[in-house]
Amino acid sequence: MTEPLFDRLCLIGAGLIGGSIARRNREGHALAREVIVTANSQATRDRVRELGFADRVEDDIAAAVRDADCVILCVPVGVYAQVMAKIAPHLKPGAILTDVGSTKGSVIRDLTPLLPAGVHLVPAHPMAGTEYSGPDSGFPTLFEGRYVIVTPTEGTDPAAVEKVRELWRRCGSMIESMDPVTHDKVVAIVSHLPHLIAFTICGTADDLSEETRESVLKFAASGFRDFTRIAGSDVNMWRDVFLNNREAVLEMLARFTEDAQAFGRAIRWGEAGFIEDRIKRGRKIRHSLIERKQA
């Protein structure tokens, strides 16, 4: 039988990601002997108690992190500094602090100044999710076959990094390491920009006249439905993502805008070769994802 990786694991936040980690442990994947969950909302904490995927639910965040070997922040990146101010005095020496946020530069910016001596910060980002949120949304297989990007800073304890990597291996993930700046640029194009486009397209549809909007909803084809799935994502999380990865998102948006305008010019002037090239390149990317089992 595999020994638990940690004696006590604390999850701050119990939505899709936090709930899935806890459920993974419940299924016997030996993440920790005890999983403690806390959340900002009383309603969320009560629901976690009802669902029973945590060993203990704490109303007080300081009590939740006390004596934990590993603490995982599973909350929107915009509240990291606020949460860190509350937990920093109560983190035990030798503890590992990690997270699941989809920006990494802001995580290091907000957590490092408050990091107690002897506590190891190992930022991480599981590239997995759905459009659902809240304590009911998690499931133990969420991370299987998906990448987790670990972004340790210079001087991070190698043993702590390996423990975080092993945690995600036990969740079924494939692990990659990347520096925070590169990470933020990569996710800006593969995740943040697609969400920005989805929110914008749905907003454009919503701004149409009543008659046209009803027809859009009635006859929505698969392409539009795919956008609405992405656009159904958590409001607070994505607001914070855009604001905390501002530079990379704006850089990728500028590149996309130039490419979209070039596509528009090709349509205007009947440049069939240009249009065919863009479609073929899109098909090539799609086939590559299928081959990598990431589709």
What is the pLDDT at residue 230?
87
d(CA 265, CA 188): 25
Domains in the chain and their CATH numbers? 6-178 (3.40.50.720), 182-291 (1.10.3660.10)
Which among 74, 65, 77, 79 is positioned nearest to 9, based on CA atoms? 65
What is the pLDDT at residue 145?
93
Mean pLDDT score, 116-121:
97
CA distances from 285 to 76, 86, 137 (A): 30, 44, 30
Tens of pLDDT, residue by residue over 38-83, are 999 999 999 999 999 999 999 999 999 999 999 999 999 999 999 9
Question: How is residue 21 written in tokens?
Answer: 């980690």
What is the pLDDT at residue 176?
96
On the question of pLDDT at 88 being above 90, the answer is yes
d(CA 132, CA 71): 23
What pLDDT band is residue 244 in, cutting at 50, 70 and 90?
very high
